Structure 1
Amino acid sequence: MLFFLDQISEQDLPKFGGKAAGLWKLHQLGIRIPKTVLLSTDAFEHYVEKNKDTLFSQSELSIEDRFLSCPLSEDLVKRLKSVLQGFQQPLVVRSSAIGEDGKKKSFAGQFKTFLSLKQVDVVDAVLKCWASLYASHVHSYDSNASKGKMGIVIQEQIEASWSGVVFTVNPQSGSWSELVIECVQGAGEQLVSAHVIPDFYLFRRPRPLPFPLRRIAAKLRMRLLDKKLTSVDEAPESLLMELAKKSIFLESKYGEALDLEWSVDEHDRIFFLQARPITQMQTDHRGEDIIWTRQFLGERWGVPATALGWSEIQPIIEHLIAYPQTSSLFLGGGESTRLYQGSPYINSTIFRHLLFKLPGAEPAPRFFLEMLPPHERQSWKSRYGGFPDWRVYGSIFQTTFKERRWERFRWNLFTNWRAWENYESQLSQFLEQEDTELKDKDEICLQIQKARDMAYEYVKVHVCSLLFANIWYQYSAWRLDQSGLEPEPYLTSNRISSTQRCNWQLWKLGKGQSSLDTVLELYGHRAEFSWAIFSERWCENPKRVIELGQLLAKEEDPQVRDTEALLALNTITDELPYDLRLLVRLTQRYLYLREEQRFHFDRLLWFWKKRWLWLEDFYQAPLRHLSLKDINFPISAEIKDRAEQGQKSWEDLLQKWKKGNQPSDFLMGEFPLNDQLNQLQGLGISEGRIEGKVRILNTFEDVEHLQEGEIMVVTTVDPSWTPLFLKAGGVIMELGGMLSHGAVVAREYKLPGIAGMRGATHIFKNGDEIILDGRMGRVWRKPTVLL
């Protein structure tokens, strides 16, 4: 049951678990690793079988205490003691579960590791490692983990001068022409536990090439592109270069991109502690179950959707995005949208098939990538290249031409913004003509139908505007980067938006320079979450408007700040070469539309809501809690009862949401994808590094607790939350991408931000001290050691 690496063969590896297998391969390649002895899974199986009645009984003891209460066999304890006589202390005990450090899942940070042990502590450490296989967070990560087995790795601990990790491809961009090294002084355990901010080094490296060209590629010079330091002393460049070259060598032997842990001892010798494939690198998810996401729609419904509100909006969305034949043939036959626990979801299965990746480049289009769960995003980023599913593209084009689908969109990539200007004019004219006194039921029902028609026209423009904003943003960012320019300062709106003008009025209200009536006349249609028709509007809760004004009044004049920022943007944009300037100006125009359109859609939805409110009052029934197909005029007592039952269910769901119990960001078929609550990595959406305390904002009602400079952690934000960006020090969002509202506003306000951090409102607690890096999309917990 106890073996040295030289005593086992490749055929024996399944008995020792994933981490042990990685160490064995390093050893076989002649790579220096710490002195190691392995405990096989046979020992685990024998121990569990002997003690199963105690280990898995109904008991108040924790699973770890139950394992500690059952001793190892005397024979195994004696053998451990004998073997470890030849090891120098301190010692390390690590888990090595079946599947750990694998291609599909890494189990990073899930199981126990123990450092700085004396020989007498090893037995308890082994038992605690085994017990960690049954921990609740491991079950959340992989519900099948507890059915597996676990080996154990025991090693001499390296007294490290430097430690860290190497990623042989850039894990954030997916670029195979870049290698990343992160390191800290001393032991590296705090680095992988996200308790220390590492030094960051980005290298240009030779790309993997076909065999005849590898010798040429090997002669390409490795060079340092970028670094971000927090240590007092900087790691020697010769050490970093040696690490990079050894890592490329190992990648060539493993035949895949690697995540490597390493340490350097006091004699400057490099030891590799672990080698594993970058998780999900080779997995193709196209044949898996249907994926549903709250991305995009979830940002627009921060409260549970009412049955009526959803049944009004869903057909409009379906009209534009549903391709039933394509779905039936290639995508599992699922609908395009659905409601789950009050939240709208989009069927994002199609984006698996539409994505592509040029060799060594980033997956495209980025908007499609953001609609997939994190493990699938990482899979796409880590692979060297990938083709789209041409059958799906072909089916979509066939349906598009057969049904003349282009007539449903304002699809011109260059002139969609003009279509918006026409729509905005039509909307203002419509509201001016139709927003009359409400007194006739039939006339009101006719106006509701007209509102639906205007909503169809809005979505025709809006969906394309969003897509084009993403396309032009990604292309402009690439062009600016190729020109040696940082994209972020250039890629923001080049006009003052209605949301910004709204903030100016709120600031004046707080300063006593404007009246509440003026603000409500101009902006009373605003809501916490814009696409939810029955979301509370500002004019329905003036107290909230007053609070926002008081909040903004503590900051500098936003009109001055916004005007100066716009002047600075125009100045630097005018200095660009002509062709690049035209491209950036077009992108800026679409970024302006990204937010402006939602502001005006709020106007239409308030018009729409008022008509339904009148009908609710007329029939004395909460009609919003019935779907359209269930509403028949006149309203019977039975329909009224169903509406009241629906209201109670909705209110119960709302309370759950307010307590932070919102639905999962992603569903796999009918089941929520479990959030990885130890995950401290998201999508960097706005550069900057900020240290501060966490403030969880589950609803807009929580904003009164936000203190100056705190980092607000939210599920998502809507345009009406914009004033908070003037007070917060940073923002972390569970939903959203590079062009979500929160991302755009964070960049405008120079606020460090992260999006797509699943489970963030549960990972952190109010008052937690963290450090947020908006460029890398990383968060470190405190107490933090700044080296």
Structure 2
Amino acid sequence: MTEIWGAIIVFVVSPIIGAIPLVDWFTYAVSGKELKKLGNGNISVSAAFYHGGRAAGILAFLSEAGKGVAVVLMTRAFFPLGSSWEIMALIALVMGRYWVGKGAGLTNVTWGIIAHNPLAGLLILLLGGISFTIFRTRKGGQVGFLGLMVVVLSVQNINSPEYIFVTIGLAGLLWWIFDQISDEGEFKSSQVFSFFRGDSGVTSLSQKLNNEKVGDKAANLSLLKQWGYSVPDGWVIKAGDDLDTFCDFANPSIQNPLVVRPSVLDKDSLTVSAAGIYESYLDITDGATLKHRIIDCLSSYHSAIALNYRQNKGTKEKSLMVIVQKQIRGEFSGVAFSRNPINQLDDCICIEGVAGDTSKVVSGQVSPEKYQVYLADDVLKGRGNIPPSVLFSVAKIAREIERTHKNIPQDIEWSYDGQTLWILQNRPISTLYPLWTRKIAQEIFPKPLPHLSWGVHNILISAVARDIVSIILQDKGKDLEFNKIAILHYSYGYFNATLLGEIFLLIGLPPESLQYLTDGEKFAKPSLSSILKNIPTLWRLLVKEWTLFKDFQVKGDRTFNPLLDELEEINPNQLSNQELLQRIDNILEGLKTATYFKTLAYLSYIIRQTLFKVNAQDLDNQNITEIRAIEELKQIAIDTRNLFSGIQLQELEPQNYPSFFATLSESSDGESVIKRLNEWLEKYGYLSEITTDISVPRWSENHRIMKIMFTKFVADNSIKAITNNKLKTQNIQQKIVQKRYELKGEIVDINNKLFSHLRSTFIALGEKLSQDQILLDEKDIFFLKIPEIKQLVNQKTDHQHIISIINKRQQKCQEYKEIKKIPYLIYGKSPKINIDSKISPKTTQNQLQGIPASMGIIEGKIKIIRTLTQNINIDKETIIIVPYIDASWSLILAQAGGIITEIGGQLSHGAIIAREYSIPAVMNIPQASRILRNNQKVRLDGQKGIVEIL
């Protein structure tokens, strides 16, 4: 009976123990990361160390070692010491572990064997380590370790065939699992064999690399490899490395060809792509050629093309590393953009591919097959020979890599060898950076803003963000560009999601929190390890939160109250232009401080509400100014109903308020109502529908809004008298949150008053400039920026020029009003829309259709350039026709107004460079140099891919 229970332990309990994902649980508890959703999904000790950090890795190791020891000791309770059943229990444990975690269970087996036979286990570890130095390869090391395990254990049990059989079974199972899993499993060759293999200290792509030391390309490949993507094995070479020793070690051959690629420390930044500027080489099959190609690649950093490119881009001189990788013999290869680089409003992944290597695509010398994949709708557009399953896999990987890179769109090179989809490199799409979002902005700026209103907010946002982040993060945030935190697209405010994402990460929020800015998801909870790492940051934030009320009181006494008293006492219409400018500066300084406190109060309120789990409906709103203003207006309306009969109230129409107010003025009771309304305006007249937009009239200026609201309240019988003004009964948690809620409202009220004074000051200045005939209308001032207004007042600019600017901006704002739906997310520059074009569109039969490659419309004369050796004389009104574009053409691209190529695609180097220089371009018009003639006038539309003969 005892052996029956022992068999149950072995065959039932052991697999269950192996299946329990303690590694995943510990990693999630410490870091907030789920290993099954990262990399290749392996739930292994090495994955816990890499993704979760040291604490998660140690806990994972202890849990897995404990599993191996546990099943051996449990089995020992039912069977004799050191029996084959203990090995059988380890087999069952490994099977359960692989079934759930997709890991090899090497840690379980190692410590299980040590518990099973301590002397044999330690001997296997010692001899196994020596075998690494002999084989110097991952598979060789595995063979040595597993072989030693069979030999050592079998020798000690030579008279037990069943024991030997079971031991061989355990080794065979591990070997099979090793063959199934990727390098992120239990056996990390990057961390073990690099020490033994004698490669002269050359850095492996399998290591975790720093982009500041090896360049973005090498670091990106390393990161992708660590995440579990299929990246060809490779190494990073720098100037001064022992090339002879390395070339002997790499040992390229016809069966093992290598590729040489550059990884430049100043390359592939978020605004500079450098596509094709530095040399790459394929099909390297011998050591001598490999050495020469490495030297050639290093030398390309100092080529004329590279020097010219860096000078044009203002890139600092650094250095170049060389990547040597195993070359993939792809059945299909290509490039993919995670976002459409031509029409960012089109939510597709753009893929171009050919049969063979990617060099045919990126060189622009072959017209590739073109596809668009819409993952949300599971739709594939485009026809060719590449299997749809491969294209969808490429598209999914492109979006995955985009998400892991802070939602920055990515340019990916890929190759499919018939079994595996390989990622050869990735880099940001420089023309689609940064990412702008309406998240948060649509709550603060729900409607379009004129230039002056936006200019004011831009000053406040950048200044306050810098102050708050510098207090919380101190030196960690010193390199952030706060002047680029917000922008105006189509007159709507957008926030820089890329910059805010960097701030989130520095504060300690997990990368998943970036989705809050793009997909509208909730903030991801920070992990325990993240909280521990950012204790100083959190402490500074808590100190500011704790002292917020006291600090605000001090500022109120020293800043806000004196400033508001001064603004109330002095009529802006009595001031000179220079005095008005000084008044504006004073108000802006007050607004900076008020906005600083408003932002901190909002954060404090959110923190308290979240910690104490208080619903907003449990808070009392009667002390919030905007709510109190409406409630008081309702009360006046309820009292006014008594002056009219039921029939009169039924016939009352809010839009016909003039007649209603005329009736009120005819009676003494009605006059008392009007008096109460005037008192209400004196009290709340500084408010408006959108108080943060200084171009919107305040209630005190435009009585029409108040009269319509009041008339509507009088006519609406559903509005009842306010009978209970007492505070709601609240518990201690609700009272704590209520205090911050009211403080936030008090600070917002100061903001509103300052914005009202700012508007009246600009209106007064606009009236003076209009009277002096510098502006055509006083409200034109809202279409200027503050520096332009100061230049105008100080007579440092031509007022006719300013009037021309105002007219253009007014026209542009009118055009923007025609946009029915603005994009929620914008990548880089504003998407080009037809209404932006200054050239009227024409439709004729004389059109050539190509591939749209770089946005923009231009009319100009054709210049056919067949080779770089011919005499070239072009300008910005010249549209050049070239056979194709590679890096060597970049020297003349900046001089052209438009580009037409006879072959090539959207994702070729030529298209990338054209977009980077903002030159309209159309690719792949076969025989264009024969169809069109020199000096022929054409219109080129780079968004539609059309060349029209005029």
Question: What TM-score comes out, normalization by structure 2 length?
Answer: 0.34
* Structure with the higher helix share, 1 or 2: 2
Q: Which has the larger radius of gyration?
A: 2
Question: What TM-score comes out, normalization by structure 1 length?
Answer: 0.40
Q: Relative contact order (C-alpha < 8 Å, sep 6+): which is higher?
A: 1
